């Protein structure tokens, strides 16, 4: 049971990582070849982040097949921990209040994705 949940979390985190890399590449190309402004970029990255965490939670919920809210929560919290460690260890900065609100929204999106993923993921295992 524990191994299945960890495997589901791994799939969710891998999905988030791949989607973040692809969306970063696409955004970099848009910035290079269009006249996208920083205000537009801020909203696009917020929406892409929410969508990415939702899909990551969905994948972990679909793979785990039960307790989607918990799988989504741990998927979101794992992402938040990675961002926090990257920012703190790489840039020697803590999280601001605004960033904490964004991270909370990302975690809620992953939880929602986990709940929907469990219900849409197919048959439950006996």
The 10s digit of each residue's pLDDT in 75-103 is: 999 999 999 999 888 888 888 899 999 99
Where does residue 44 rank: exposed (0-12), middle (13-18), buried (19+ CB within 10 A)? Answer: middle
Give the phi and the psi of residue 66 in degrees, each rounded to 5.
-160, 155
Q: Confirm if 64 and 71 have CB atoms less than 8 A apart.
A: yes
Residue 123 has pLDDT above 80, yes or no: no
Q: Is the pTM of this model over 0.85?
A: yes
The 10s digit of each residue's pLDDT in 17-49 is: 999 999 999 999 988 898 888 788 889 999 999
SS3 92: coil
Q: What angle do CA 18, 20, 21 make, to 5 degrees?
A: 65
């Amino acid at each position: 049971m524990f191994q299945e949940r960890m495997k589901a979390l791994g799939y969710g985190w891998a999905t988030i990582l791949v989607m973040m890399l692809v969306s970063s590449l696409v955004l970099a190309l848009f910035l290079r070849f269009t006249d996208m402004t920083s205000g537009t970029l801020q909203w696009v990255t917020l929406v892409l982040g929410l969508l990415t965490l939702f899909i990551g939670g969905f994948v972990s919920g679909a793979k785990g097949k039960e307790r989607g809210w918990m799988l989504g929560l741990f998927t979101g919290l794992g992402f938040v921990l990675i961002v926090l460690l990257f920012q703190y260890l790489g840039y020697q900065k803590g999280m601001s209040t605004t960033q904490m609100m964004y991270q909370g929204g990302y975690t809620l999106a992953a939880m929602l994705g986990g709940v929907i993923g469990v219900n849409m993921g197919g048959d439950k295992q006996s």
